[in-house]
Structure 1
Amino acid sequence: MKVLPFTIPVPHGKTIIVQEEIMPHFYPHLHRHAEVQITWIKTGEGTLLAGNSMHAFKAGEVYVLGANLPHLFKSNPEYFDDGSTLIIEALTVFFDPVGKLAAMFDLPEMKAVRSFFEQWQTGFKIPIEMLSVFSGFIDRIQLSKGALQMSVFIEMLNAMSGLTDIQPLSADSYTHSMTDPEGMRIASVYNYIMHNYGRALTLEEVARQAHLTPNAFCRYFKKHTRVTFTAFVNKVRVNQACKLLVNGNLNNIADVAYNCGFSSITNFNYTFKNITGKAPRDYVNDYVGTVKIKNGIK
Structure 2
Amino acid sequence: MKVVRYSVPVSADSIVIEEDRLPYFYEYLHYHNDMQLTVILKGEGTLIVDHYKQRFTPGEIYFINARNPHLFCSDVSYFDHQKENSAHAIHIYFDEKKLIPDNYLPEMNNIRRLLNIVKHGIQIPNKNEAYVKRQVIRIKNSSGFERLYRFVRLLHYFTGELHEVRDLSSGVKNHLRTVSENPRIKEVYQFTLKHYNTPISLETVSQICSMTQPAFCKFFKKHTSKTYMNFLHEIRVSKACNKIIQGDFENMTSLAYSCGFNSTVNFNKVFKKVVKVSPSDYIRKHRNQKSYA
Short-chain TM bin:
0.5 to 0.7
TM-score, normalised with respect to structure 2: 0.57
Q: Which whole-Å CA distance do the structure 2 matches of 1:111 and 1:51 have between them?
A: 28
**TM-fit CA distance, 1:85:** 6.1
Q: Which whole-Å CA distance do the structure 2 matches of 1:86 and 1:16 have between them?
A: 24
Q: Which whole-Å CA distance do the structure 2 matches of 1:41 and 1:146 have between them?
A: 24
Asked if the contact 1:29–1:72 (Cα under 8 Å) also holds between the matched residues in 2, the reply is yes
Q: Which whole-Å CA distance do the structure 1 matches of 2:39 and 2:96 have between them?
A: 20
Q: Which whole-Å CA distance do the structure 1 matches of 2:155 and 2:282 have between them?
A: 33
Q: Which whole-Å CA distance do the structure 2 matches of 1:83 and 1:39 have between them?
A: 22
Q: What does residue 5 of structure 1 align with?
A: 5
Q: What does residue 160 of structure 1 align with?
A: 158
Q: Which whole-Å CA distance do the structure 2 matches of 1:66 and 1:130 have between them?
A: 19
Q: Which whole-Å CA distance do the structure 1 matches of 2:139 and 2:82 have between them?
A: 35
Q: Secondary structure at the match of 1:166?
A: strand
Output the amino acid matched with 1:227: G
Structure 1 runs of 4+ with >6 Å offset: none
Asked if the contact 1:52–1:171 (Cα under 8 Å) also holds between the matched residues in 2, the reply is no
Alignment of 1:228-239 (within 5 A): none
Q: Which whole-Å CA distance do the structure 2 matches of 1:278 and 1:95 have between them?
A: 36
Please list the CA deviations of residues 27-68 of structure 1 after superposition, one character each: whole Å capped at 9, or x if unmatched.
111111111110000000000001211110001111110111
Please list the CA deviations of residues 145-180 of structure 1 after superposition, one character each: whole Å capped at 9, or x if unmatched.
1111111101100011221111211149xxxxxxxx
Q: Does 1:50 align with 2:49?
A: yes
**TM-fit CA distance, 1:4:** 2.6
**TM-fit CA distance, 1:83:** 5.8
Q: Which has the higher strand share?
A: 2
Q: Which whole-Å CA distance do the structure 1 matches of 2:146 and 2:102 have between them?
A: 16
Please list the CA deviations of residues 218-254 of structure 1 after superposition, one character each: whole Å capped at 9, or x if unmatched.
xxxx99x7227xxxxxxxxxxxxxxxxxxxxxxxxxx
Alignment of 1:74-89 (within 5 A): 74-82=73-81, 87-89=86-88
Q: Which whole-Å CA distance do the structure 2 matches of 1:105 and 1:38 have between them?
A: 24
**TM-fit CA distance, 1:105:** 7.8
Q: What does residue 281 of structure 2 align with?
A: 275
Q: Secondary structure at the match of 2:107?
A: helix
Q: Secondary structure at the match of 2:147?
A: helix
Q: Which whole-Å CA distance do the structure 2 matches of 1:83 and 1:108 have between them?
A: 49
Output the amino acid matched with 2:115: F
Q: What does residue 227 of structure 1 align with?
A: 247
Output the amino acid matched with 2:145: A
Q: What does residue 120 of structure 1 align with?
A: 118
Unaligned runs of 5+ in 2: 172-241, 249-277, 286-293
Please list the CA deviations of residues 57-112 of structure 1 after superposition, one character each: whole Å capped at 9, or x if unmatched.
0011111101111101000010111565671000111101123x244883211111
Q: Secondary structure at the match of 1:73?
A: strand
Q: Which whole-Å CA distance do the structure 2 matches of 1:42 and 1:105 have between them?
A: 36
* C-alpha RMSD of matched pairs (Å): 3.1
Q: What does residue 18 of structure 1 align with?
A: 17
Alignment of 1:1-298 (within 5 A): 3-11=3-11, 13-82=12-81, 87-99=86-98, 101-103=99-101, 106-162=104-160, 163-171=162-170, 226-227=246-247, 274-276=280-282
Q: 1:91 to 1:84 in 2, by over 3 A?
A: closer
Asked if the contact 1:125–1:169 (Cα under 8 Å) also holds between the matched residues in 2, the reply is yes
TM-score, normalised with respect to structure 1: 0.56
Output the amino acid matched with 1:38: L
